[in-house]
Amino acid sequence: MIGRDELHGVLVPVVTPFLPSGELDLASYTRYVEKLAEHHINGLIINGTTGEAPTVRWDEVVQLTRATQQILKEKQRSIPVIIGTGTNDTLTTVQRTELAAALGADAVLVVVPYYSRPSQEGIIEHFRRVTEVGVPVIAYEIPARTGVRLTMHTAKTIMEMEGVIGMKDSSDGLDLVTELTRQDAGAVLCGDDLYYHAKLSQGASGGILASANLYTDIFIEVHDLVQKGMVMEGKRSFDRVVPLIRKLFQEPNPAPRE
């Protein structure tokens, strides 16, 4: 398991390759994760939306997790494995979080409940129940997909919960990261790839970035430069991948054009 102080740097949400039959392509997945593991990344996210969480069955999540753990063991890499368990149903989210804990997940990624657009109090209670499982939780704010935006009070309340180690901020702006870091509320990870450098400059500790599946070392370099106070140098490095990010997000994630 990982703590707040370990939640930093570049975390990569993995894609899920399939065979034409619709079954998992574990051979391709193994080669792919082996390649990612060569980089100095700080986490792998299984069953995020980049990995097609809305359509991947839980038994497939189990296969992907076990394959990832085996690859890292063979490579002798201690990269945290984080599993996406969030749904818009609290009971299902809790159950999936329990299953992820049993699989040995180092943390879980839990999205704000989507579609049903619960009240702020309901969102807080949703996360409170998930934290009771005992596995570290990364909250995930992405109002463009959930249909509801966290207030600053709600975000801070969630971040202060015992068991919540940080938040993935895909709020399409700088307000959330600026205020949370100003109040020293905990680790904030950028989830908007185009805002990566800007959010690092506002105090984000890293990013969960779909684009970092490609040119991974450049994204790591951007983080390291900003952390050293070399903000403009980090901006120049980031500018190298901006065209890539724009091209990848021409279509909704996870279906970028070539």
257 pLDDT more than 60? no
Q: What rounded mean pLDDT belongs to the chain? A: 95
Label the pairing between strands 137-141 and 107-111.
parallel
Task: Provide the 10 A C-beta neighbour count for residue 151.
Answer: 11
Residue 131: its H or E element: helix 120-131
Distance in angstroms (rounded) separating the CA atoms of residues 35 and 140: 26
pLDDT tens-place string over residues 61-111: 999 999 999 999 999 999 999 999 999 999 999 999 999 999 999 999 999
Active site residue 140: yes
Active site residue 199: no
Residue 253 pLDDT: 65
Residue 172 pLDDT: 87
For residues 7 and 205, is the Cβ–Cβ distance under 8 A? Answer: yes
pLDDT band at 48 (very low <50, low <70, confident <90, very high): very high
Mean pLDDT of 157-169: 97
CA-CA distances (angstroms) from residue 74 to 71, 115, 172, 194, 215? 5, 41, 38, 34, 24
CA-CA distances (angstroms) from residue 139 to 26, 165, 180? 28, 8, 13
Taking alpha carbons only, the member of 186, 181, 190, 188 closest to residue 212 is 190
For residues 118 and 151, is the Cβ–Cβ distance under 8 A? Answer: no
- Is the entire prediction scored with pTM above 0.75? yes
Active site residue: 29, 73, 114, 168, which one? 168
Domain ranges of the chain: 4-215
pLDDT tens-place string over residues 52-70: 998 999 999 999 999 999 9
- Backbone phi, psi, residue 29, to 5°: -60, -40
Active site residue: 140, 195, 196, 199, which one? 140
Residue 251 pLDDT: 76
pLDDT tens-place string over residues 11-46: 999 999 999 999 999 999 999 999 999 999 999 999
For residues 220 and 40, is the Cβ–Cβ distance under 8 A? Answer: yes
pLDDT tens-place string over residues 167-181: 999 998 999 999 999
Residue 139: its H or E element: strand 137-141
Question: Which CATH architecture does the domain made up of 4-215 adopt?
Answer: Alpha-Beta Barrel (3.20)
